[in-house]
Amino acid sequence: MLKGNKGEWSELYVLVTLLAEGKLFQSDVELDKDFSNVYEIIKAYKSESQFKLEFDRQEKVRVYKKNDQLNEQIGEFSFSDFSEISKLLYNGILKGKGSSFAILEAEDFLKTSQINKLKADSTVKSDIQLKIYDHRLAKETDLGFSIKSLLGGDSTLFNTGVGNNFIFSTEHDLEETIEDFNTRTYKPEGRMSKLTFRLQELERLGCEMKFEKIQSNQLWKNLKMIDGDLPEIIGWSLYYRWVFRESSLTKILAILEEIDPMNFYGGEASEQKLYEYKLKRFLTEAAMGMTSEKPWLGEYDSFGGVIIAKKDGDIVCFHIYDFNLFRNYLLNNTKFEQPSTGEDAELPGRPRASGKNYNYGWVYREDDLLKIKINLQIRFR
């Protein structure tokens, strides 16, 4: 029985729904369909371990099983059949529980179509391969799309990990021991986060914080690949996220442009928004599949854009032609998330023995400097 998480089932939902409807609509910045920009679906492809499935959409949807020695039709469905399967998948995704679940109602379709896996291979740059009629080029073209699913809750744009810690340091010393500082600041009054309280306390004590490095050298290289300033820009974004208690990337960006921690503008007014441009590039690469630990080459061979599966089941896309719209959408609809710090409640300033430990958020001493780590994770909101 085939099982997967909401994101993996969403890849199949997108494939089935597009074949049922026969159209892929361009999105505007509000994620609404742009009815003046629509692409006709001609075929969809799905790779299995030993063969490739081809879904040919004409007066019906015919399913072909292909490899070097094989080319046979294994199924035929009406558009209404695919519409019903789409509804079953949508409801199954919304009802699905846990990190992996089956959708029993779709089993017959999966067996008939010989679908044995949900997620595209990690070696493939796109989540779905389509043949569309591109009205701008006035021809058919094969393109791959990345899929972002908003079904069943807010999805993650950039996943966390231990290596996602951005490290800040100061030469200033404390008026108390590090142990006493971490203990005193572990449970601040009200609803303030301990990380916010600690950073604000360090500033109150006159500590001049400097961005030092990223814990993961691979993440550092991936960010440098996109833009040389990105490691420090994201570092300061995270710092201000906690100091000013703002998780929205739009609001953090306004703070960056005003404070200008990297002195891009030298105190002068500028029409060029350097922080905004560079941060948008990072968000876009993250949406394209860049992660923290896998080398990112920044290649987009035969890449068509990004498909979004909305919470209401509608499907829209941001074509590569209209990436300014996509960048603006990402900026306006993402936020910094707070993963578990992994700090021991009984021994503040030390990692707990079990559970998810990203090991950040407390003050420690290294190389005669006081340091604190801030973890990076970004989620749609």
pLDDT (tens digit, 9 = 90+) per residue, 157-202?
Answer: 999 999 999 999 999 999 999 999 999 999 999 889 999 999 999 9
pLDDT of 123 strictly over 70:
no
**Secondary structure (H, E, C), 41-64:** EEEEEEECCCCEEEEEECCCEEEE
**Quick one: pLDDT at residue 319?**
87
Question: Regarding predicted confidence, which is higher, 300 or 98?
Answer: 98
Calculate mean pLDDT across residues 292-320: 87
Calculate mean pLDDT across residues 45-63: 95
- Beta-bridged to residue 266, according to DSSP, are none
pLDDT of 84 strictly over 70:
yes
Q: Which long-range contacts (CB under 8 A, 24 or more apart) does 120-125 make?
A: 120/11, 120/47, 121/47, 124/47, 125/288, 125/289, 125/299, 125/300, 125/301, 125/303
pLDDT band with cut points at 50, 70 and 90 for residue 300: low
Span 217-245, pLDDT tens digits:
999 999 999 999 999 999 999 999 999 99
**Quick one: pLDDT at residue 139?**
92
Calculate mean pLDDT across residues 355-368: 92
